[in-house]
Structure 1
Amino acid sequence: MPETYLSDLQLSARYGVHRTTPWRWYNDDETFPKPVKLSPGCTRWKLSELETWEANKASSVA
Protein backbone atom coordinates (compact mmCIF):
# COMPACT_ATOMS: atom_id res chain seq x y z
CA MET A 1 0.00 0.00 0.00
CA PRO A 2 1.40 3.45 -0.86
CA GLU A 3 2.49 5.72 1.98
CA THR A 4 0.21 8.65 2.83
CA TYR A 5 1.87 11.99 3.57
CA LEU A 6 0.37 14.96 5.43
CA SER A 7 1.31 18.63 5.19
CA ASP A 8 1.60 20.96 8.16
CA LEU A 9 -1.86 22.30 7.26
CA GLN A 10 -3.30 18.79 7.33
CA LEU A 11 -1.58 18.11 10.65
CA SER A 12 -2.97 21.30 12.14
CA ALA A 13 -6.47 20.25 11.06
CA ARG A 14 -5.97 16.70 12.34
CA TYR A 15 -4.90 17.86 15.81
CA GLY A 16 -6.89 21.11 16.00
CA VAL A 17 -3.79 23.26 16.46
CA HIS A 18 -2.13 26.22 14.73
CA ARG A 19 -0.15 25.49 11.56
CA THR A 20 3.18 26.16 13.31
CA THR A 21 2.49 23.77 16.21
CA PRO A 22 3.62 20.58 14.39
CA TRP A 23 6.92 22.34 13.69
CA ARG A 24 7.25 23.24 17.37
CA TRP A 25 6.51 19.63 18.32
CA TYR A 26 9.18 18.50 15.87
CA ASN A 27 11.73 20.89 17.44
CA ASP A 28 10.76 20.28 21.08
CA ASP A 29 9.64 16.63 21.26
CA GLU A 30 12.25 14.06 20.24
CA THR A 31 9.51 11.42 19.87
CA PHE A 32 7.59 13.43 17.26
CA PRO A 33 8.16 12.04 13.74
CA LYS A 34 10.67 13.76 11.51
CA PRO A 35 9.24 15.39 8.37
CA VAL A 36 10.26 14.20 4.92
CA LYS A 37 11.38 16.75 2.33
CA LEU A 38 9.82 15.52 -0.93
CA SER A 39 11.09 18.48 -2.97
CA PRO A 40 12.11 22.10 -2.37
CA GLY A 41 9.22 23.73 -0.54
CA CYS A 42 7.37 20.42 -0.07
CA THR A 43 7.80 18.90 3.38
CA ARG A 44 5.41 16.24 4.66
CA TRP A 45 4.98 13.80 7.54
CA LYS A 46 4.28 10.10 7.04
CA LEU A 47 0.82 9.22 8.31
CA SER A 48 2.02 5.80 9.50
CA GLU A 49 4.68 7.42 11.71
CA LEU A 50 2.15 9.91 13.08
CA GLU A 51 -0.26 7.09 13.96
CA THR A 52 2.54 5.26 15.78
CA TRP A 53 3.42 8.47 17.66
CA GLU A 54 -0.27 8.94 18.59
CA ALA A 55 -0.53 5.36 19.88
CA ASN A 56 2.64 5.75 21.95
CA LYS A 57 1.41 9.05 23.41
CA ALA A 58 -1.96 7.50 24.28
CA SER A 59 -0.35 4.49 25.98
CA SER A 60 2.04 6.67 27.98
CA VAL A 61 -0.88 8.75 29.29
CA ALA A 62 -3.08 5.77 30.17
Structure 2
Amino acid sequence: MAAQTNPNQAHRRFIKLPKVKDYTSLSTSEIYRRIAAGTFPVQVVLGPKSVAWIESEILQWCESLTAQRKVA
Protein backbone atom coordinates (compact mmCIF):
# COMPACT_ATOMS: atom_id res chain seq x y z
CA MET A 1 0.00 0.00 0.00
CA ALA A 2 1.38 3.44 -0.95
CA ALA A 3 1.97 5.99 1.75
CA GLN A 4 -0.61 8.73 1.89
CA THR A 5 0.39 12.35 2.27
CA ASN A 6 -1.57 15.09 3.94
CA PRO A 7 -2.50 17.68 1.29
CA ASN A 8 -1.92 20.46 3.86
CA GLN A 9 1.63 19.25 4.53
CA ALA A 10 4.23 21.23 2.60
CA HIS A 11 6.49 19.31 0.25
CA ARG A 12 9.78 18.75 2.05
CA ARG A 13 13.04 18.68 0.19
CA PHE A 14 16.36 18.04 1.87
CA ILE A 15 19.28 20.18 0.77
CA LYS A 16 22.94 19.78 1.62
CA LEU A 17 25.36 22.38 2.99
CA PRO A 18 26.60 23.75 -0.38
CA LYS A 19 23.02 24.64 -1.36
CA VAL A 20 22.37 26.20 2.09
CA LYS A 21 25.51 28.31 1.63
CA ASP A 22 24.34 29.27 -1.86
CA TYR A 23 20.91 30.40 -0.59
CA THR A 24 22.24 32.33 2.41
CA SER A 25 25.72 33.50 1.33
CA LEU A 26 26.94 32.46 4.79
CA SER A 27 30.13 30.51 5.44
CA THR A 28 30.05 27.05 6.97
CA SER A 29 31.40 28.44 10.25
CA GLU A 30 28.76 31.15 10.38
CA ILE A 31 25.95 28.68 9.69
CA TYR A 32 27.04 26.48 12.59
CA ARG A 33 27.55 29.53 14.86
CA ARG A 34 23.99 30.62 14.17
CA ILE A 35 22.65 27.09 14.76
CA ALA A 36 24.43 27.07 18.14
CA ALA A 37 22.93 30.50 18.92
CA GLY A 38 19.46 29.27 17.99
CA THR A 39 19.06 31.78 15.15
CA PHE A 40 19.28 29.42 12.18
CA PRO A 41 17.34 26.28 11.22
CA VAL A 42 18.77 23.07 12.67
CA GLN A 43 19.88 20.36 10.28
CA VAL A 44 18.21 16.95 10.01
CA VAL A 45 20.37 13.88 10.62
CA LEU A 46 20.00 11.54 7.65
CA GLY A 47 22.55 8.99 8.81
CA PRO A 48 25.68 8.54 10.91
CA LYS A 49 27.71 10.91 8.72
CA SER A 50 25.06 12.78 6.78
CA VAL A 51 22.98 15.86 7.54
CA ALA A 52 20.75 18.07 5.46
CA TRP A 53 18.42 21.01 5.92
CA ILE A 54 14.77 21.37 4.97
CA GLU A 55 14.72 23.72 2.01
CA SER A 56 11.49 25.47 3.03
CA GLU A 57 12.97 26.30 6.47
CA ILE A 58 16.04 27.88 4.86
CA LEU A 59 13.93 29.88 2.44
CA GLN A 60 11.67 31.00 5.29
CA TRP A 61 14.74 32.11 7.27
CA CYS A 62 15.88 34.17 4.26
CA GLU A 63 12.41 35.71 3.93
CA SER A 64 12.36 36.66 7.62
CA LEU A 65 15.63 38.57 7.19
CA THR A 66 14.24 40.32 4.15
CA ALA A 67 11.11 41.33 6.10
CA GLN A 68 13.27 42.81 8.89
CA ARG A 69 15.18 45.22 6.69
CA LYS A 70 14.36 48.89 6.91
CA VAL A 71 13.06 50.57 3.81
CA ALA A 72 14.50 54.07 3.40
Matches within 5 A, 1:43-62: 43-62=51-70
Mapped to 1, the partners of 2:28 and 2:40 lie a distance apart of 15
Is the deviation greater in 44-53 or in 6-15? 6-15
How far apart are residue 2 of structure 1 and its match? Answer: 4.3
CA RMSD of aligned residues (A): 1.9
Aligned-pair identity in percent equals 18
Q: Which residue of 2 aligns with 1:22?
A: 31
Q: Which residue of 1 aligns with 2:21?
A: 12
How far apart are residue 57 of structure 1 and its match? Answer: 1.0
Is the deviation greater in 17-26 or in 3-12? 17-26
Give 3-state SS (helix, strand or coil) of 1:20's partner.
helix
Which structure carries more helix by proportion? 1
Structure 1 gap segments, 5+ residues each? none
Structure 2 gap segments, 5+ residues each? 1-9
One-letter code aligned to 1:35: Q
Normalising by structure 2, report the TM-score.
0.66
